[in-house]
Amino acid sequence: MADRVHPGGDSPPATAPPAAATTTAATNSPTKPSPPPGTYVVQIPKDQIYRYPPPENAKRYQKYSRKNRRSCSFCCCLCWILSLLFLLALLLAATAGVLYLVFRPKALDYAIESISIKKFNLNSTANPSQLTTTISPEFNVTVRAHNPNSKIGVYYRGGSSVAVSYAGAELCAGALPAFYQPAKNVTVFKTVMVGEGIRLSRDAYLGLMGQQRTGEIPLGLDLKVPVRVKFGSVKTWTLTVKVGCDVAVDKLGVDASVVSNKCRVRALPWKSI
């Protein structure tokens, strides 16, 4: 019996179905880039990822963390201090407002009632040909202090100063007495001021001589007095009252008369004598 031999072209290829399957799988699924040889890909859930600074930056991280903590502490402390200062300012403003409404404070009033001048004889001690003239005058000044307040008293304390000047040059200096001035009171006190070895320039000497002939010599009188103000039964801390007076006299003698005077008063909330 003869064997049947099938022609080669009629038998189906054995590898055709696997090739088709491979093509279908490549078409349906996206291609992923393959990692380079020698590497590993580890997948970790996001909730298990923790961040730590690398060892070379650990000291720098700690340094910045300490700085941030110190900065926060400083900011908190500064905010507390500013809040306390603001609260204190509000309390002081409220207290000042209450005191003003209750006591209605008024400024003190000062005036120069009389001036007696000794040892200021320009005719006998001065020489117009010289550039300077040396004098040692003595001033006896009477000051009138008026407290117009109805509920406020004033304690004049020690350590005051008073000076007389001409054209900006001080002629003599002294001090005021210490006393208490009650409300609605007028107090007249005297003070003696002495100058030693005062040198007058030639221009000042000639100016004094000319103004003495006209009968109006301008002088300046400055007072600095430490006081304590009494509001009812409460006394304040020591503050300074400054008084500046522009005074004019008719002559430089014992019987000199005050031609005009005008005083300005300024109170400072601290002691600066």
Q: State residue 122's pLDDT score.
A: 72
Structural domain contains residue 37: no
The yes-or-no verdict on residue 5 having pLDDT over 70 is no
Q: State residue 53's pLDDT score.
A: 56
- The model's confidence at residue 1, banded by pLDDT at 50, 70 and 90, is very low
Residue the block writes with tokens 């997948």: 43
| Domain shared by 86 and 127, yes or no | no
Domain count, the chain: 2
| Domain shared by 66 and 159, yes or no | no
Choose the final residue of a domain: 68, 102, 136. 102
Strand, coil or helix: what is 231? Answer: strand
Tokens linked to 65: 């963390």
CA distances (Å), origin 33, targets 22, 23, 30, 73, 238: 18, 18, 10, 52, 89
Strand, coil or helix: what is 122? Answer: helix
| Domain shared by 65 and 92, yes or no | yes
State pTM to two decimals: 0.64
* Structural domain for 77, as ranges: 55-102
Q: Give the pLDDT mean for 245-259.
A: 94
